[in-house]
Structure formats: C-alpha cells, structure tokens
Amino acid sequence: MAAAGGGFGGGKKVVQLFYDVVSPYSWLGFEVLCRYRHNWSIELCFRPAFLGGIMKETGNQPPAMVPKRGEYMMTDIKRMAKYYQVPLQIPKDFFGSVIRKGSLSAMRFITAVDMTQPQFLEPVSRELWMRIWSRDEDITQPESILAAAREAGLPSALAQKLLAMTSTPEVKNRLKETTEEALKYGAFGMPAVVAHVNGESHLFFGSDRLELLGNVIGEKWLGPVPAASKPRM
C-alpha cells in the first residue's frame, strides 16, 4: 500500500478507502476492494479514520437515528452481506454496541498499527470488524482489542506496545489528520472511497458504488467475488 498522503503518480490508479470498523458498510467495501486488488490495476490504500468526527463536522447522523431509515438499514445490511459474501450479523444491542460505545479506542489502535506495523493493518481491521459485526463482541475494552490483535497474528508484546501508543499525541493526531483529510475530499460518512484519476480525485460514498468506481477508473466490474479471488473470512 502507498504511504498515507503520498504521491499519486505511476501506472496504477490510487484508490483510498477511508473507513471505521464501527461501520458495517465500510467492512463490505473493504472486503470487496481487497478482492479487486487482484483484478483491477489499482494501488489500494487503507485510511483508518474516525466516523464520529466526520458525522460531527458535517452535521450528519447515523441512519439508525431516523426510524424509517433505520428499519430499512437493518434489512439492507442483511441483503448486502449476503450479496457480498461477508459474514455480517447485526449486534443484538445495536444502539449499545454501535451508537453508544463507538469505536474511538479501536480506531486509535488501528492507527497505531498503521503507523508502525502496516503489514498487520488489513488483518487487524478485519478481526475488529469480525468481533463487532459477526460475533457480537466488544471492540472498546483493552482486552477486546488485544484479542483481535492476537487473532490477526500480532505478537502479544507488540500488541501491548501498540495499545500503549493509543494514548499518545502522535496517534491521536494521526487519526485526527486522516479524518480531516477525508473531510477535505467531501466525506460525510463511511466508507468514503477516493479514486485518483489523471490528477483528479473522485469521491464515492458507500459500498454500493464500486461498479461505478470501476467505470471511472477504466476497470470492469466482475461482481462481488471476481474469479481471481475468494472471500477471506
């Protein structure tokens, strides 16, 4: 993956995925783009950001806070999960797990991973999504985050070190800067996918715009699971 904030030259088109593990649609987009790395000529850059900050700055609110929209979302998530072949399950206490607890501690940990051990960024992110959105487990407590890190293959001592980093100004500022970068591209929710084509940036919101993304970058959409890849969950 390209370094965060790096140049966008070269043969492959750069596609940035701004995401937060509290967002189920971010997980769907994440998994499908991971599959398409092997089919499209793209450089996929994972950009962990804080959805709560984006919602606050744009005046947006979670879909579940609007009753009819929330009802639709519960059905839509199930349909999308089946279509994209991602083992997503809605937590029993949706408001408690998603709205009240949030994801700040998890996203700071992911940011620390990104800053120091980027080779673990993909598996750690996936394991945290698996906890909250597949197994209905906590992602806010230190022991929960360490359990996800362990499942992702991160050595215990290193995971403890990264957890300690989450309280440092360096990690907090990096997460804030990445969130602000997403806002500059026009993000108002997540996932926010930004494609860089011929010196221009193109923002796509949501996990159901990937066919359109392919069209803009000159690549063909081959369905949710293209032949050259398979789901990793």
Backbone angles phi, psi at 197, to 5 degrees: -130, 120
How far apart are the C-alpha atoms of 134 and 21, rounded to whole Å?
Answer: 12
Q: Do residues 159 and 143 touch, judged by C-beta distance below 8 A?
A: no
Q: CA 79 → CA 17, 34, 74, 226, distances in Å? A: 22, 20, 9, 19
Longest dimension (CA), the chain: 46
Q: Which segments of the chain does DSSP mark as H helices, in order?
A: 24-36, 51-58, 67-84, 94, 104-116, 121-133, 142-151, 156-165, 169-184, 210-216
Which listed residue (23, 97, 134, 207) is catalytic?
Answer: 23
Q: Do residues 99 and 109 touch, judged by C-beta distance below 8 A?
A: no
Q: 3-state DSSP call for residue 85? A: coil
Active site residue 23: yes
Q: Is the dihedral of CA 156, 158, 164, 169 positive or negative?
A: negative
- Are β-strands 13-19 and 192-197 bridged in parallel, bridged antiparallel, or unpaired? antiparallel
Task: Supply the residues annotated as catalytic.
Answer: 23
